[in-house]
A = this chain, B = another copy of it.
Amino acid sequence: MTNKKKDIMEKLKKAILSLELKPGTIISETALAEKFNLSRTPVRDILKGLALQGYIDIYPKKGNIVSYIDLESVEQITYLRSILEKEIIKDLSPNIPINGLHKLRDILAKQKDCIESSEKNQDKLDRFMVLDDAFHKTLFELAGRNFLWDLIQQFNVHYMRYRKLHAFKEDKLKKLLQEHQEILDCIVLGQKDKIDDLVYNHIRADINSLYFRENFMEYIKKPSN
């Protein structure tokens, strides 16, 4: 795929993930083509790619829209991640390399800085979440499971947006950081018996909260019936 097309694809992905493009927003081939000075053909390639990864829904001869958040996908992906990560962490536990440990501690330090900083609330949250991803991604990398991290990322549209919409408060961020710390401690000390519950609580804790369903109805995919 040519670079210009990849750039546009990334741009659209970011806009959708950041909710700048809200679920339901119409994505028109001709509009995009004009905006980027391209013909419809390459634009169609891009939209096909976005559709295959769940970013948009294509309704033949009608139009394309930004997909609504699919809570089923969120539930399934968090299940997958909690199962995988608890295993990965156990694999890692006795034999984590020292530079890996440094990398993880470095990320936690940055998360601490982030919490204590005085920037705007949404910016702080975004930055914290980037670091959160970095922490988990590093765990995958250290265990030689980069491949699986990337695989999951390809299906993360719904979970990423779900997470962003949670208006996490300062004490929630502190809790997340502390859980990271505890996970790291378990790895270093080899306390494998604690890991299952830790990871479960960290990733799956407040899934299926009614709060979310009630407050973001217009963003959520209606169950097909």
Question: Interface of A with B (CB < 8 Å)?
Answer: 1-2, 41, 44-45, 48-49, 52, 58, 60, 72-73, 76, 79-80, 83-84, 87, 145, 147-148, 151, 155
Contacts and interface: CB of A to CB of B under 8 A. Distances in A.
A83 B87 contact: yes
Contacts of A76: 145, 147-148, 151
A192 to B, nearest CB: 13
A117 B83 CA distance: 39
Contacts of A1: 58, 60
A84 B79 CA distance: 10
Contacts of A80: 84, 148, 151
7 contacts: A1-B58, A1-B60, A2-B60, A79-B148, A83-B83, A83-B84, A151-B155
Nearest to A45: B48
Contacts of A73: 147
A45 B80 CA distance: 30
Given A52-B52, A80-B148, 20 more contacts: A1-B58, A1-B60, A2-B60, A41-B41, A48-B48, A49-B52, A72-B147, A73-B147, A76-B145, A76-B147, A76-B148, A76-B151, A79-B148, A80-B84, A80-B151, A83-B83, A83-B84, A83-B87, A84-B84, A151-B155
A45 to B, nearest CB: 6
A221 B58 CA distance: 34
Contacts of A52: 49, 52
Contacts of A72: 147
A52 B49 CA distance: 8
Contact of A49 (B48, B83, B147): B48
A52 B46 CA distance: 12
A49 B49 CA distance: 8
A96 to B, nearest CB: 18
A73 B84 CA distance: 16
